[in-house]
Amino acid sequence: MKTKIIRRKIKIAAEIIKKGGLVAFPTETVYGLGADALNRNAVKKIFEVKRRPLDNPLIAHVSSIDGVHEIAEVNKIAERLIEAFFPGPLTLVMKKKRIVPKETTANLNTIAVRMPDHKIALKLIELSETPIAAPSANLAGKPSPTKFEHVLELKGKIDAIIVGRTNIGLESTVVDTTVYPVKILRPGAITPEMLKEFVDVEIHKGKESKPKSPGMKYKHYSPDAELYVFVGEGVKKKIKEFANSLIEKGFKVGLAVSNAREYEEFEFVEELGSDLNDVAKNLFSALINLDKQNVDYIIAEGVESEGIGITIMNRLEKASGGNVYRI
């Protein structure tokens, strides 16, 4: 399949969506891999291309508040959150309407809905005249794409890629509004503190036998290299010691650290930045770049668990399979 690279003509991308094709497009969080959320055959293709387990439901993206009501039953609580945070990096799980095929929601009677705060994404949805189902545009289990270049790995497998930029760098906050207090199923840029100004909030710990957000039971965000994360006061010394011990054994080691200049003696170093928003923006890109250089191990510097730092550590925790060490 020839993949069209689309720069400005969003209309062409919308025609592809209307015909049941797949289009990768930028949002303010990460790149999404979109298809008509109401077309079961189009949605099935997303699962095939991503090699995504069929029981992991998709987020439906809309371009207006009316669009939310077309596909979901909006209760008072959801309404309050929509008013406060849409468009933005918040996904609300609500009761689904019958118009949505079961393929989109992986047989659940709920649907996750989000209105992205991104010009290109909004335009694409509007011109397509349908909600767009879109997971992150990576292969299942891998770090999410935050740049146009990252999505090129899907070239030949999808109909089009729209050139553009993301902003936040981590996926949206997913909140279940069918229960009260509402439950955070996945942390994101909209923090518990922000939500608590409008509703009572509980944070899902993900230890129940039946995961509430189906995606939580799978390996996630993981680079091919084995990832270790260190966080705390003496982190620089610890990272250097650990990296050197692996290098002595003959392994190729990549580092993802706040300040690359402090690690000049190492060959594969990606800078995350020291501001938490920069770390969020750079994290997935750093992991993807180090993987491209075929390192055996990646050692990353963690951050304090406050504000968006909670989300950064959530992704590092999952990406490393729990290899997080506080020192």
Closer CB to ligand TXA, residue 136 or residue 320? Answer: 136
56 binds ligand TXA (CB under 6 A): yes
φ, ψ dihedrals at 261, nearest 5°: -60, -25
Closer CB to Mg ion, residue 37 or residue 269? Answer: 37
Closer CB to Mg ion, residue 32 or residue 263? Answer: 32
62 binds ligand TXA (CB under 6 A): no
Closer CB to ligand TXA, residue 105 or residue 258? Answer: 105
278 alpha carbon, distance to own chain's centre: 16
Piece of the chain touching ligand TXA by CB under 6 A; list 195-203, 211-219, 265-273, 303-311: 211-219
Candidates 45, 114, 315, 318; binder of ligand TXA (CB under 6 A) is 114
Which tokens go with 319?
Answer: 């990406």
Piece of the chain touching ligand TXA by CB under 6 A; list 15-23, 213-221, 238-246, 268-276: 213-221
Closer CB to Mg ion, residue 136 or residue 191? Answer: 136
Candidates 87, 164, 215, 302; binder of ligand TXA (CB under 6 A) is 215
105 binds ligand TXA (CB under 6 A): yes
Candidates 3, 13, 17, 32; binder of ligand TXA (CB under 6 A) is 32
Candidates 134, 175, 283, 286; binder of ligand TXA (CB under 6 A) is 134
314 binds ligand TXA (CB under 6 A): no
- State the minimum distance, in angstroms, from the CB of residue 247 to Mg ion: 32
Closer CB to ligand TXA, residue 32 or residue 223? Answer: 32
Instruction: Please report, as residue ranges, which positions from 232 to 251 form the binding site for ligand TXA (by CB under 6 A).
Output: none
177 binds ligand TXA (CB under 6 A): no
Helix/strand/coil (H/E/C) assignment for every residue in the chain: CCCEEECCCHHHHHHHHHCCCCEEEECCCCEEEEEECCCHHHHHHHHHHHCCCCCCCCEEECCCHHHHHHHEECCHHHHHHHHHHCCCCEEEEEEECCCCCCCCCCCCCEEEEECCCCHHHHHHHHHHCCCEECCECCCCCCCCCCEHHHHHHHCCCCCEEECCECCCCCCCEEEECCCCCEEEEECCCCCHHHHHCCCCEEECCCCCCCCCCHHHHCCCCCCCCEEEEEECCCHHHHHHHHHHHHHHCCCCEEEEECCHHHHCCCCEEEECCCCHHHHHHHHHHHHHHHHHCCCCEEEEECCCCCCHHHHHHHHHHHHCCCCEEEC
Identify what 110 binds: ligand TXA, Mg ion, none; CB under 5 to 8 Å per kind. Answer: ligand TXA
Piece of the chain touching ligand TXA by CB under 6 A; list 80-88, 207-215, 246-254, 272-280: 207-215
Cα 59 to Cα 112: distance, rounded to the nearest angstrom: 5
101 binds ligand TXA (CB under 6 A): no
Name the residues that contact ligand TXA, by CB under 6 A: 27, 29-30, 32, 56-59, 91, 93, 105, 108, 110-112, 114, 134-136, 171-172, 174, 185-186, 213-215
